[in-house]
Every structure is written in C-alpha cells, then in structure tokens.
Amino acid sequence: MTPEQYCQDKAAKSGSSFYYSFLFLPEQQRKAIIALYAFCREVDDIVDSNIDSHIKQTKLQWWRDEIQALFKGQPQHPVTQALMPAIAQFNLPQEQFEEIINGMEMDLQQSRYDNFKDLSLYCHRVASVVGLLAAEIFGYQDRKTQKYAHDLGMAFQLTNILRDVHEDAQRNRIYLPQDELQQFNVSENDIIQGRTSDKFIELMKFQMQRAQNYYDKAINELPEADRYNQRVGLVMARIYQSTLDEIVNDGYRVLQHRIKLTPLRKLWLAWKTIRQEKRRYKKWLRLNPTHR
C-alpha cells in the first residue's frame, strides 16, 4: 500500500463530511488535503482511544518527533510520507502541524472549559489551524482569506461540539463553557444523564447562534477573488450547517444520539454547492476579465 492509498483509506473510512468535499479537487490539491486530513485523524484517534493517558502522551510525542523528521526530509510514517510533497508545493509551516498536536494534547489535560475564551484556544488549535493549512493548499490571493479560514474552522469545531455532546459526555468531556451552563441553569449531571429540558434547549439555541455567527462572519470575510479556490470550505460549510438544521429538526436531542447526514446527502450537498460556486465564478470572471 502506498502512502497515498493509506491516507485515502483513512479518509474514506472515517465517513467524514470533509471527505466528500475533497472529491471535487484537482489531483495534487486532493492528495495534499487528504494527507492533511489523515494526519489530523491519526492524532485525534490517539486521544479518543481507550488506552492509558501516559501512552497517549507518548504517542503524541512520537508524532511531534515525526513532524520534525518530516521537515528534515526524513518521514517514516505513511501519512508524513504523503505530506512531504505537499509541504514543499504549498509551503505548509511546521509550527502549524505542531499546534494541531498541542490542541489534541489539551484533551489529555482538561475535560472542562471555564468560559468561551478558554474554549476558543482549543478550537483554534484543533480546527482553525487546520483551516489555515487547508487555505494554503487551496490557494488564495488576498490575505483576508486567512481570517476567513480561521473563523470557518471555529464554526466547524463549534458545530462538532454541539453534534457530539452525548458522545463527549460519555468520555467525561464537556466542551460547553461552564459559565454558560450556569447561565442557563443546566448542570453537568443533566448532560451526563441525557436530560433534554427546556433549559438545555435554550442553551443549545445560544450555542448554535454563536456557531452560525462564525459561519456568517467567515463567509463575509472571504474575498470574491478567492471564493472559487476556497470552494471546498464552502462545501463543508453547507454540510455542517445542514447538520445544525438537523439538530433543530430533531428537537435538539443531541443528548440521546448523534445527528448524522447520510453519505448520499453529503455527496448531493457537495455536488450542488460546487455547481453553484462554479456558476458564480464564471459570472465573476465575466465582470473581472483581468483575473483570468
């Protein structure tokens, strides 16, 4: 199995919304983003595994060392071997890969967040930094696109937190800020025991509005000149926002089960969004012929 096949299998087996958005990219970008995604899956799977926390720490340290080896041109793992051409072609910085590992390590150090400011650092490391790397792979002309990538990553991670409340609580992790639980008079025990009260629904509405604000902010920050290059992020945004819609339609019952979109629906949303963005780009080019 080649490094590229290893990463492809890792991404495909995850069933992630990300994978469906990658299918519409040119080959070199597709290989690079799938390798990046496979790296994120590798380190995330360590943290979510049932092994001893000391072993998890040791494995994360191994990945730190492997990232250093990668940037010295000596990768050993199939994922880093697949990443090697990407870091040169797309100028991906070493410190951002290390920052992702720092974010995963936070899950070994804490399972509660006092306020949104503290949670923001976690979201930045595990999602926004990934967004910044992805933006480099997709390409951009305007540096404002970096702000878009950061805020879209925040939106994605906040959506993940809302979708995975039940699953995370089973691992004794509660990402909803403690001061906001108190604000809405929802206890940790309510979450752990799966009590979907009116107070919990109000808390969810508050959290979902924050996530939506990040989506709106990100899309408004994306320069039109870079919009088509960044179309994968827009596909993912459509899929993730559809997940939020499903949470509402399901009566906010995230404490009972995890909301999932079917693979067919994800693929349809991806195709529909790509088609819309292509039409929009062609229209923009007609109005801005110097950008051809």
pLDDT of 290 higher than 80: no
- CA 184 – CA 203 distance, rounded (Å): 6
pLDDT of 82 higher than 80: yes
For 94-131, the pLDDT digits (tens) are 999 999 999 999 999 999 999 999 999 999 999 999 99
Token representation of residue 195: 């009590």
Residue 17 is predicted with a pLDDT of 65
For the segment 241-258, the average pLDDT, to the nearest whole number, is: 95
pLDDT of 291 higher than 80: no
Q: Convert the chain into a string of H (helix), E (strand) and C (coil).
A: CCHHHHHHHHHHHHCCHHHHHHCCCCHHHHHHHHHHHHHHHHHHHHHHCCCCHHHHHHHHHHHHHHHHHHHCCCCCCHHHHHHHHHHHHCCCCHHHHHHHHHHHHHHHHCCECCCHHHHHHHHHHHHHHHHHHHHHHHCCCCCHHHHHHHHHHHHHHHHHHHHCHHHHHHCCCECCCHHHHHHCCCCHHHHHCCCCCHHHHHHHHHHHHHHHHHHHHHHHHCCHHHHCCCHHHHHHHHHHHHHHHHHHHCCCCCCCCCCCCCHHHHHHHHHHHHHHHHHHHHHHHHHCHHHC
**Structural domain boundaries of the chain?**
1-108, 110-276
Question: Nearest to residue 92, comparing CAs of 126, 138, 60, 123?
Answer: 138
**pLDDT category of residue 14 using cuts at 50, 70 and 90:** low
Token representation of residue 35: 């390798």
Domain 1-108 class, CATH top level: mainly alpha
Average pLDDT, the chain: 93
Residue 25 is predicted with a pLDDT of 86
For 185-201, the pLDDT digits (tens) are 999 999 999 999 999 99
Backbone angles phi, psi at 151, to 5 degrees: -70, -30
Residue 11 is predicted with a pLDDT of 83
Token representation of residue 130: 């990934």
Residue 16 is predicted with a pLDDT of 66
CA angle 70, 73, 74 (to 5 degrees): 70
Does the domain spanning 110-276 belong to CATH 2.30.40.10? no
Q: One-letter amino acid identity for 258?
A: R
For the segment 256-260, the average pLDDT, to the nearest whole number, is: 91
pLDDT of 24 higher than 90: no
For the segment 32-42, the average pLDDT, to the nearest whole number, is: 94
pLDDT of 93 higher than 80: yes
Q: How many residues does the chain have?
A: 292
Residue 48 is predicted with a pLDDT of 87
- CA 256 – CA 163 distance, rounded (Å): 11
Residue 164 is predicted with a pLDDT of 95
- Percent above pLDDT 70 for the chain: 98
| Cβ-Cβ contacts under 8 Å for 220 (sequence gap 6 or more) | none
For 122-181, the pLDDT digits (tens) are 999 999 999 999 999 999 999 999 999 999 999 999 999 999 999 999 999 999 999 999
- Percent above pLDDT 90 for the chain: 84
Token representation of residue 47: 């943290």
Q: Confirm if 244 and 211 have CB atoms less than 8 A apart.
A: yes
Q: For residues 55 and 288, which has the higher predicted lDDT (pLDDT)? A: 55
**pLDDT category of residue 15 using cuts at 50, 70 and 90:** low
Q: Fold identical between 1-108 and 110-276? A: yes
